[in-house]
Structure 1
Amino acid sequence: MLKSAILGAAAAIMPLTAFATETLTLETTSVGSSPHYIDTTFASILQNAGIADLQVTEGATLTNSVQAVAEGRLDIAPAPLILPFLMSKGIGPYSGLGPEKGAELASNVRAIFFMAPSVQIFAYYNSNPIDDITKLDGKRIWNGPPRGAALTSGRATVQLLAGLKEGEGYEGVQTPWPDAIPTITSGKVDAWTSPDGLPSARQIRIAAAGGITIHDIPSEIYNSELGQQIANAPGHAPVSIPIDVYRKAYEGNDVTVVVDDDTFDSYATAFAEIVPASMDEELVFNIVTAFLEGQERMETSAPIGPHLNMTFADIDGKSQGVCGAVQIKMHPGAIRAFEAKGHTVADCLRP
């Protein structure tokens, strides 16, 4: 009788664990960032669904992570879309690969879903205010990690605001992501610009050391020819957030938000969650199905959840920042999963 009960219990458990046979590797950004929240929540969703166990490495430099996925050394990573674009050309951080090798590696990358979770901000401590953010000559500004998409965007922001290039009007300060907050709170810089979610745990931690002011891009600059070029550049997506929504996200923290109209205008860093093209189609189908079924958890597990601009609906390509200068394909298993849930996927994303 006892033996029968044990066998019966085991049989009852088997359907819950039968799919938990895959152990996958994932690299993501530092704690407090939007990609970190997305990836750790994603890992929890997959584990609870019995699909896969994700071994998550935090504080990664995504430039390296994207190349690792392309080379098949890593299973999953969040990719700022500028990186596959630069890799396909063999330029920027991938100049060492050259155009031919870069294009070959970029062709090995497949998207499984998209998001635009990080909006570029410019900020400083109220104890050391900047009177005019369009005049930054001689300032020391933290503008990103040593290389990669965030640094490209950070440099573009300072150039857009003040017409200055790094080293020709201001001093750019770069550190790996885990050192960003200590560098800023130590008082070693006059200001900082970074891609951040809403609300940003990073900015809240920075503000814990003293009140800060966050600026958007002033409307006249944002709507200029250069402003629109940067907002719509490969890897970017223009964003306007109602100011009451933006300010409400920081309620209870010593954060002042300055805009010149009724919206916070900037540009988001467009991302894709990527896997190698060779990943098993059925596995990807199960992974993306679990992701789509985890929408409520993804959007409600933290205050940042509703502001991640994630694809839980139709994918037209343009809204995700692809199918133009950035060419990336979706994995067939991901396309199947979206279509099985009744969503459409643009033809330009099909392999």
Structure 2
Amino acid sequence: MIKKLFLATAVALIPAAAAAQATLTAETTTPGSTPHYIDTTLAAVLDSAGVATMQITEGATLTNSVQAVAEGRLDMAPAPLILPFLLSKGIGPYSGVGPEKGAELAENIRALFFNAGSAQIFAYYNSNPVEDIRNLEGLRIWNGPPRGAALTSGRAMIQLLAGLKDGEGYEGIQTEWPDTVSTITGGGADAWTIPEGLPSGREITIAAAGGITLHDVPSDLLASELGQQIVAAPGHAPYSVPVDVFRKAYEGNDITIVTDDDTFDSFATAFAQIVPATMDDELAYNITKAYLEGEERFMTSSPRGPHSKLSFGDIDGKSQGACGAVQIKMHPGAIRAFEEAGHTVADCLKP
């Protein structure tokens, strides 16, 4: 179910003259996800700073949200970077748009800031364990929603672990995001692979129905030619967290973390907070300035804050999953905010 959040409660507590100067429409993912946390925290930060009120629709399909921003029908959305890339080519979920129109639409997308906080994991219930994650033949595996960036990443994970393609060796199970937990807890899949923030409210909810085990990508597979291709693929970025930190994030839950060394290594889903290129420069500047000044709030408002890999420093492009196959540009107003705060922005991200 798609729900709308109207995050303007603080406005009622301050004088009308200091009320938010703009109203922004935004779409985000379901509660418990990193994009949802970032968007709702951003809404609170912008509201407190008197910059804007965000009207957020949650549970959205980001494939549609990205196109809506590109068409100027939506002010803001979190974008897995593979989606602007696919849109620019008019392929995948945007094949109906076509290459020419897709390239034109992608040119109308600008980034304000970035994050890469969702690591691809593989998991199963301990009551129905997967004996060897390199042998997934014949299993039913939830690997994403019916389309979009998460499904692409999920399929890549299974191909990397076991050399299998969806429908050829295993049965890929897809549902809309709001139905993910109920599908898994209801026995609709033998295992699942999902891009998750740390800690993941979704995995904690799943574990409440029975103990689960989470795996990273084994070191030899990650270092393989295919592994490195996946890490460098459009929309991905490297991800590595000390395993002790990863385990501590799930302390008190029946969740077992399995790695082959002292780090939890995988590939992250690289995100940008996107707006139309036509957004007013001053508004984009004020939003980004408030974001940068709100760093403490982003870091402390949730246990996942410190692990969200938000861009509060220099922007080199590569670390953010951009400046390769993904050629997204930052909004000039956002660049000004970063540079005024003393941070550098790579030339490849400048329009």
- TM-score norm. by structure 2 comes to 0.95
SS in 1 for 2:317: coil
Q: 1:13 Cα deviation (Å)?
A: 3.7
After the TM superposition, list the runs of 4 or more consecutive aligned residues in structure 1 that deviate by more than 6 angstroms.
Answer: none
Q: 1:319 Cα deviation (Å)?
A: 1.0
Aligned amino acid, residue 201 of structure 1? G
Q: Does 1:331 align with 2:331?
A: yes
Aligned amino acid, residue 160 of structure 2? L
Residue 169 of structure 2 corresponds to 169
SS in 1 for 2:157: helix
Q: 1:14 Cα deviation (Å)?
A: 5.7
Residue 241 of structure 1 corresponds to 241
Aligned amino acid, residue 346 of structure 2? A
Residue 16 of structure 1 corresponds to 18
Aligned amino acid, residue 235 of structure 2? G
Aligned amino acid, residue 130 of structure 2? I
In our comparison, the structure showing a higher alpha carbon Rg is: 1
Residue 57 of structure 2 corresponds to 57
SS in 1 for 2:321: coil
Q: 1:232 Cα deviation (Å)?
A: 1.3
Where does structure 1 lack aligned partners over 5 or more consecutive residues? Answer: 1-11
* TM-superposition CA deviations, 1:111-144 (whole Å, max 9, x none): 0000001000000000000000111111000000
1:118-137 aligned within 5 A: 118-137=118-137
Residue 142 of structure 1 corresponds to 142
Counterparts of 2:345 and 2:144, CA distance in 1: 33
Residue 277 of structure 2 corresponds to 277
Q: 1:188 Cα deviation (Å)?
A: 1.2
SS in 2 for 1:124: strand
Q: 1:348 Cα deviation (Å)?
A: 1.0
Q: 1:98 Cα deviation (Å)?
A: 0.9
Q: Does 1:156 align with 2:161?
A: no
* TM-superposition CA deviations, 1:59-90 (whole Å, max 9, x none): 01100000000000000000000000011011
Counterparts of 1:312 and 1:167, CA distance in 2: 41
Aligned amino acid, residue 151 of structure 1? L
SS in 2 for 1:42: helix
Q: 1:198 Cα deviation (Å)?
A: 0.5
Counterparts of 1:14 and 1:115, CA distance in 2: 34
Aligned residues: 338
1:204-219 aligned within 5 A: 204-219=204-219
Residue 221 of structure 2 corresponds to 221
SS in 2 for 1:170: strand
- TM-score norm. by structure 1 comes to 0.95
Residue 263 of structure 1 corresponds to 263
Aligned amino acid, residue 113 of structure 1? F
Residue 298 of structure 2 corresponds to 298
Residue 33 of structure 1 corresponds to 33
Residue 116 of structure 2 corresponds to 116
Counterparts of 1:123 and 1:13, CA distance in 2: 50
Residue 5 of structure 1 corresponds to none
Aligned amino acid, residue 126 of structure 2? N
Aligned amino acid, residue 254 of structure 2? D
SS in 2 for 1:311: coil
Identity of aligned residues (%): 73
Counterparts of 2:245 and 2:16, CA distance in 1: 46
SS in 1 for 2:165: coil
Counterparts of 1:58 and 1:88, CA distance in 2: 25
Q: 1:16 Cα deviation (Å)?
A: 2.6
Where does structure 2 lack aligned partners over 5 or more consecutive residues? Answer: 1-13
Counterparts of 1:14 and 1:132, CA distance in 2: 61
Aligned amino acid, residue 193 of structure 1? T
SS in 2 for 1:268: strand
Aligned amino acid, residue 22 of structure 1? A
Residue 99 of structure 2 corresponds to 99
1:194-213 aligned within 5 A: 194-213=194-213
Q: Does 1:350 align with 2:345?
A: no
Q: 1:339 Cα deviation (Å)?
A: 1.1
Q: 1:294 Cα deviation (Å)?
A: 0.5
Q: 1:15 Cα deviation (Å)?
A: 5.4
Q: 1:290 Cα deviation (Å)?
A: 0.6
Counterparts of 2:223 and 2:328, CA distance in 1: 28
Residue 90 of structure 2 corresponds to 90
Counterparts of 1:146 and 1:13, CA distance in 2: 46
Counterparts of 2:265 and 2:154, CA distance in 1: 15
